[in-house]
Amino acid sequence: MLATGLMLVVSIFAAPAAVTGTQDVPQRLAHANGVGTLKVGQEQFKISGVIVKLLDDRKVEITIISDITIFISGTWAPSSESQEAFDIQITGGASAGGLEGAGKLNLGKDTKSELRLTLKGKSRTSKKSVEVNFVGK
């Protein structure tokens, strides 16, 4: 079953719905409700929210809120597309074996409506493909 090894994050609903920091301060927190899909192998889930922490050591922590809630970790780098765009490299999370993959994060000026996240990866243990497409509303 897919839920095996997935982290349930109970306290995520208490997270602030804003982005903190400026371009001078690397650490940022974003939270948005919206619509999206999480695909794991042949299974598909609707995403209702996403929490993203861009840490000052270039690490990223992503929480996907869906029928299941998963935690993804990795690294981030500024994208050449814009100051609000980031390249994401997935290095772990979601299960004991972790994930590997990549994606894009866009944080607009109004993160509640402009947060966009796309990720593609594969489970290291089950080799199932994992895809995330989310748009904040």
At 70, which CATH number? 2.40.160
- Residue 10 within a domain: no
84, 64 in Cβ contact below 8 A? no
- Residue 4 within a domain: no
Q: Report helix, strand or coil for 13.
A: helix
- Residue 129 within a domain: yes
Residues 64 and 134: their CA atoms lie apart, in Å, by 9
Amino acid present at 92 = G
What pLDDT does residue 63 have? 95
- Residue 6 within a domain: no
Domain carrying residue 103: 26-136
| pTM of the predicted protein model | 0.76
Residues 6 and 2: their CA atoms lie apart, in Å, by 8
Helix (H) or strand (E) holding 113: helix 111-114
14, 103 in Cβ contact below 8 A? no
- Residue 116 within a domain: yes
- Residue 108 within a domain: yes
10, 70 in Cβ contact below 8 A? no
- Residue 80 within a domain: yes
Q: How many CA atoms lie within 13 A of 54 on its CB side?
A: 24
How many domains, in total, are found in the chain? Answer: 1
What pLDDT does residue 96 have? 57
Residue 25, both tokens: 């301060």
Average pLDDT over residues 45-58: 94
What pLDDT does residue 18 have? 39
What pLDDT does residue 24 have? 45
Average pLDDT over residues 14-29: 49
- Residue 21 within a domain: no
Residue 106, both tokens: 């866009």
